Structure 1
Amino acid sequence: MLMSNTDRPAKLHYMANGFRVLAPGDHVLCAVSGERISLEDLRYWSVAAQEAYASAELATKAMSPAA
């Protein structure tokens, strides 16, 4: 029986110009909001922190020094 990647989080390695799938899945979770991000919609991540973000605003928030 083949396993489906539907509803399963992927494990990714984030690089400057893309990402590599280390473990198959159909989504990742935003490091700030916990929101589910489909791999097709993933646009924002941190190479240094190896984290994904759901939006530019959340990426900015994650990378800003705490006030």
Structure 2
Amino acid sequence: MLMSNTARPARLHFMANGFRVLSPGDHVLCAVTGERIALDALKYWSVSRQEPYASAEIATKVLTGA
């Protein structure tokens, strides 16, 4: 039986210029808001914190402490 990746969160390893899929899935959850982010829409993350963010504004606030 084949497993679908739909509605399943992925586990990722974030790198400076991309990410590597550790466990397959179709989305991740924003570390701040819990918002679901489709992998093909994921643009913002922290390499040092290994966290995904839903928007540039959220990432900026977290990473600058603002």
TM-score, shorter chain, exceeding 0.5: yes
Unaligned runs of 5+ in 1: none
* Counterpart amino acid of residue 24 in structure 1: P
Residue of structure 1 in register with 2:36 after alignment: 36
Equivalent residue for 1:56?
56
| Aligned twin of 1:7 | 7
TM-score, with length taken from structure 1:
0.95
Q: Deviations over 1:1-58 (max 9, x none)?
A: 1000000000000000000000000000001111000000000000000000000001
Q: Percent identity?
A: 74
The yes-or-no answer on 1:22 pairing with 2:59 is no
TM-score (norm 2): 0.96
SS of equivalent to 2:48: coil
**Unpaired segments ≥5 residues, structure 2:** none
Alignment coverage as a number of residue pairs: 66
CA RMSD of aligned residues (A): 0.9
> How far, CA to CA, are the matches of 1:30 and 1:14 in structure 2?
13
